[in-house]
């Protein structure tokens, strides 16, 4: 679509190229933190990657507050943890092995992942190292232990028990027992150790534990914990796994041709952005629905949900400074941005429902508001095959006759192939013989002689009993004329009579069409017809240059009499 038609759908509310916001879509959320009906923007800022990591809260276009984070945030969500009034959500920030919970923008609780089981050999070596008293004995033990390489390290930490800790890779929320927007939600976290935990919203105890075959990188959650839920997890091995209630292992698996870089849910389908510049749609059971090709690599993805209009679409940020809006596989809008977008969030900001918030690679902040008069066309604006091509055909069920025929073909495949090849060879031989015969008898509409290249066609006009027969003869040579030709007609004299049955053509100039007219009179009143043969002859040659067979029509005039 044209850029001017796209910008008319959005109002440019705010753009700050030096906001110093470095984050991803998993670390950005919109929440009514004070219960006043005005949503704030909560961002987990990555800072420089090693320092200046902060939890920032924006109100309108200005920074409202910020809290220092001890480690890089890997995810941020807002959730209601209890039924107490006022109903203000808490903020959960995943960082390393910890979840920091903030209530009223103040630290409220810190959850630590349970430690992993320690290897028995490592535990035994560590216990022996703690009991050793002399440096020489300690060194002899360390020579057989690769992970304890320095003596100073053992002396410094020998009083502490050995532990094995994992880290959080992504975080989400799951409604506890109601689907309402203001219902209590559980925290869902994925870890580097391939585990998925569901936490109680009040006591922060582990309600359920599941596992996947590889380390998760992205996650989407839907449903209710006490009823039924689905957790869609994109993993580092390039597959997507779907977990369900009462099943510690994945229920379905989606194998992708390239690694997933974006994962969102739209209605009952899962939309995945892949590293090979494609956008793919799947059902909840992992069946592929469609594929759309993208002009650039995917940088981030988000969901555009407008419940008041009943409109849902997928926002896809691309590396060519564009944000594409897809509904199923149809591209319905394109937004140009001044820089590459790294995070997208759509929802209610302040008191405006249709607000699109984006951060850029250079640390900029972009805020756009959807116009109330904006209308999105469902037709695909991207070039490619028509929409009807993606509609699935209603294939009928296999009948018993079809199954029997399939079994017969499998059992007699060799014999059937040989018979087919034999029939095909016979057909080719018959066609070759007919072609040679036509050339030898000059039955083709074009001459095979290189010295007299001629082309002829015939036209019969009239209803009868008198017909007008017109022959169109053309010399197809480049520059050489043809001379001393004659045309002769052969016919049944009991059925037809011709005024002139023989013509002489002294000269044929190349490229010109020469019409030759004669009249044919039908003599029979029985309503029958026959063939009139036309020969193009050359003086001194016994074989004709061209031969044409004209199928004469039935004389309707005599039939009426």
What band does 187 get if pLDDT is binned at 50, 70 and 90? Answer: very high
The third-level CATH classification (topology) of the domain covering 10-118+147-151+162-370 is Methylamine Dehydrogenase; Chain H (2.130.10)
The third-level CATH classification (topology) of the domain covering 454-551 is Immunoglobulin-like (2.60.40)
pLDDT at residue 444 in the model: 62
Kindly report the number of other CB atoms within 10 A of residue 384's CB atom: 12
Please state the φ and ψ torsions of residue 371, each to the nearest 5 degrees: -65, 145
What band does 561 get if pLDDT is binned at 50, 70 and 90? Answer: very low
Q: 308: which 2 tokens?
A: 């008041």
Say what percent of the chain tops pLDDT 90.
29
30's CB contacts (< 8 A; 6+ apart) are 39, 40, 41, 42, 78, 345, 347, 348, 349, 355, 357
277's CB contacts (< 8 A; 6+ apart) are 293, 294, 295, 296, 297, 298
Alpha-carbon distance of 427 to 146, in angstroms, equals 78
What digits encode the pLDDT tens for the residues 169-179?
A: 999 999 988 88
Q: 252: which 2 tokens?
A: 């379905």
Q: Please state the domain extents for the chain.
A: 10-118+147-151+162-370, 120-146+152-158, 454-551
**Which residue matches tokens 């590889």?**
214
Comparing 8 with 453, the larger pLDDT belongs to: 453
pLDDT at residue 298 in the model: 93
Alpha-carbon distance of 244 to 59, in angstroms, equals 38
Query: Is there a contact between 86 and 35 (Cβ–Cβ < 8 Å)?
Result: yes
296's CB contacts (< 8 A; 6+ apart) are 277, 318, 319, 320, 322
427's CB contacts (< 8 A; 6+ apart) are none
pLDDT at residue 384 in the model: 59
Minimal CA–CA distance to 475: which of 527, 538, 520? 538
What band does 191 get if pLDDT is binned at 50, 70 and 90? Answer: very high
The mean predicted confidence, pLDDT, of the chain is: 84
Mark residue 267 as left, alpha or beta (left: phi above 0; alpha: psi -120 to 50; beta: remaining): left
**β-strand partners of 367:** 14, 357
| Burial zone of 518 (CB within 10 Å; 0-12 exposed, 13-18 middle, 19+ buried) | middle
Comparing 381 with 51, the larger pLDDT belongs to: 51
H or E, element range at 554: none
Alpha-carbon distance of 61 to 480, in angstroms, equals 86
């Amino acid at each position: 679509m044209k850029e001017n038609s796209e910008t008319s759908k959005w109002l440019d509310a705010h753009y700050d190229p030096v906001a110093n916001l470095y984050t991803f879509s998993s670390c950005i959320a919109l929440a009514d933190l004070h219960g006043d009906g005005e949503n704030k923007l909560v961002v987990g800022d990555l800072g420089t990657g090693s320092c200046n990591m902060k939890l920032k809260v924006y109100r309108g276009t200005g920074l409202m507050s910020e809290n220092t984070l001890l480690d890089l945030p890997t995810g941020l969500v807002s959730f209601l943890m209890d039924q107490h009034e006022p109903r203000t959500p808490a903020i959960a920030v995943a960082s390393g092995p910890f979840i920091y919970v903030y209530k009223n923008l103040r630290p409220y609780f810190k959850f630590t992942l349970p430690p992993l089981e320690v290897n028995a050999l490592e535990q035994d070596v560590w216990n022996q190292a703690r009991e050793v008293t002399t440096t020489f004995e300690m060194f002899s033990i360390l020579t057989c232990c690769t992970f304890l390489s320095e003596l100073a390290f053992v002396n410094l930490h020998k009083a502490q028990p050995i532990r094995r800790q994992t880290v959080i890779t992504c975080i989400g929320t799951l409604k506890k027992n109601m689907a309402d927007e203001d219902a209590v939600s559980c925290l869902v976290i994925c870890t580097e150790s391939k585990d998925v935990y569901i936490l109680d919203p009040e006591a922060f105890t582990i309600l359920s534990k599941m596992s996947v075959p590889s380390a998760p990188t992205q996650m989407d959650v839907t449903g209710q914990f006490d009823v039924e839920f689905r957790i869609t997890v994109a993993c580092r091995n390039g597959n997507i796994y779907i977990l369900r209630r009462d099943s510690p292992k994945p229920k379905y698996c989606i194998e992708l041709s390239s690694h997933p870089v974006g994962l969102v849910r739209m209605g009952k389908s899962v939309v995945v952005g892949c590293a090979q510049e494609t956008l793919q749609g799947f059902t909840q059971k992992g069946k592929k629905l469609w594929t759309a090709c993208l002009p650039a690599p995917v940088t981030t993805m988000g969901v555009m949900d407008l419940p008041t209009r009943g409109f849902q679409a997928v926002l896809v940020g691309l590396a060519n400074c564009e944000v594409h809006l897809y509904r199923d596989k149809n591209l319905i809008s394109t937004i140009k941005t001044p820089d590459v977008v790294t995070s997208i969030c759509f929802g209610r900001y302040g008191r405006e429902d249709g607000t699109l918030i984006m951060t850029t690679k250079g640390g900029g902040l972009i805020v756009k508001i959807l116009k109330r008069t904006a209308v999105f066309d469902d037709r695909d604006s991207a070039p490619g095959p028509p929409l009807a091509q993606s509609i699935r055909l209603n294939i009928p069920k296999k009948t018993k006759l079809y199954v029997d025929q399939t079994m017969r073909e499998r059992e007699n495949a060799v014999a059937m192939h040989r018979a087919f090849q034999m029939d095909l060879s016979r057909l080719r031989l018959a066609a070759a013989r007919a072609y040679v015969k036509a050339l030898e008898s000059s039955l083709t509409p074009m001459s095979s002689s290189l010295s007299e290249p001629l082309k002829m066609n015939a036209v019969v006009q009239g209803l009868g009993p008198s017909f007008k027969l017109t022959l169109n003869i053309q010399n197809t040579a480049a520059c050489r004329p043809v001379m001393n030709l004659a045309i002769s007609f052969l016919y049944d004299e009991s059925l037809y009579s011709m005024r002139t049955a023989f013509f002489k053509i002294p000269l044929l100039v190349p490229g010109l069409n020469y019409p030759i007219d004669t009249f044919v009179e039908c003599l029979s009143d029985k309503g029958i017809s026959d063939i009139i043969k036309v020969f193009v002859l050359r003086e001194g040659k016994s074989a004709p240059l061209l031969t044409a067979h004209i199928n004469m029509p039935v004389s309707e005039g005599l039939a009426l009499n």
